[in-house]
A and B are shown apart, each in its own frame.
Chain A
Amino acid sequence: DTAVSQTPKYLVTQMGNDKSIKCEQNLGHDTMYWYKQDSKKFLKIMFSYNNKELIINETVPNRFSPKSPDKAHLNLHINSLELGDSAVYFCASSPKLYSSGANVLTFGAGSRLTVL
């Protein structure tokens, strides 16, 4: 059973299109994240949700809209895709705040987005 699963694993699309990446975790964690890894392997946080509430929004363009229908799911919708959006997007989750291991992130396998 995959702890943090993302779909799709690969996504190739044209500039200007809209696409979504889905993430689900079965760890019972309260907090979920989206990280972006660029072509130089640099990892940067984009968003974080704690129990469906947006907590961190790291100056990401408005074209990126996260949605958390429940605490086990965090989806990422991207409008009007640009070449610079090409990257690997990682979903992650972590346990309840102040619990043991609260800030230990479990990552999904990543979703590689290529914008042509």
Chain B
Amino acid sequence: AQKVTQAQTEISVVEKEDVTLDCVYETRDTTYYLFWYKQPPSGELVFLIRRNSFDEQNEISGRYSWNFQKSTSSFNFTITASQVVDSAVYFCALSEAHSGGSNYKLTFGKGTLLTVNP
């Protein structure tokens, strides 16, 4: 069974601080995908990134960066120079091919509430 653990329930930082959100996953599949989604106070779920299990290269997109390490089954997310607009719940998720390969199922972590204070 697949599982995603986000041990940090809540994080509070002051604007311009860097912050890292941790994500640890469990899966028996050799092929899988990892995701981060953002849920701002308005409630919608916004896709941030997808990474497949064969690509361990770190990725940077503006102030966002992701560190994928298969050896520790972790896919951490860092926000550099945080801003108030980054305040949201951030979800890490894992996808394996559903049985028969006919579909994909996202298993979400419980989310980390990030509050960036001015």
Q: Which residues of A contact B (CB under 8 A)?
A: 31, 40-45, 48, 50, 55-56, 88, 90, 92, 94, 97, 101-110
Contact = CB atoms under 8 A, between A and B. Distances in A.
Nearest 7 Cβ contacts at the A-B interface: A103-B104, A107-B45, A43-B108, A55-B103, A103-B95, A41-B111, A109-B44
Centre residue among B43, B95, B107, B110 by max chain A CB count within 10 A: B43
A90 B108 CA distance: 13
B98 A56 contact: yes
Main SS class of interface, B: strand
Given A55-B98, A94-B104, A43 B91 contact: yes
Contacts of A40: 110
B43 A42 contact: no
A94 B111 CA distance: 22
Centre residue among A43, A102, A104, A105 by max chain B CB count within 10 A: A43
Contact of A44 (B101, B104, B108): B108
B104 A106 contact: no
Contacts of A31: 103-104
Interface residues of B, number: 24
A90 B39 CA distance: 12
Contacts of A102: 104
A10 to B, nearest CB: 11
14 contacts: A31-B103, A31-B104, A41-B39, A41-B111, A42-B108, A45-B106, A48-B98, A48-B103, A94-B104, A101-B50, A103-B95, A107-B37, A107-B45, A110-B43
B103 A41 contact: no
A45 B107 CA distance: 8
Contact of A106 (B47, B105, B108): B47
Given A104-B47, A110-B44, A48 B110 contact: no
B64 interface: no
B102 A50 contact: yes
Nearest to B103: A55
Nearest to A92: B45
Interface in B9-57: 33, 35, 37, 39, 43-45, 47, 50
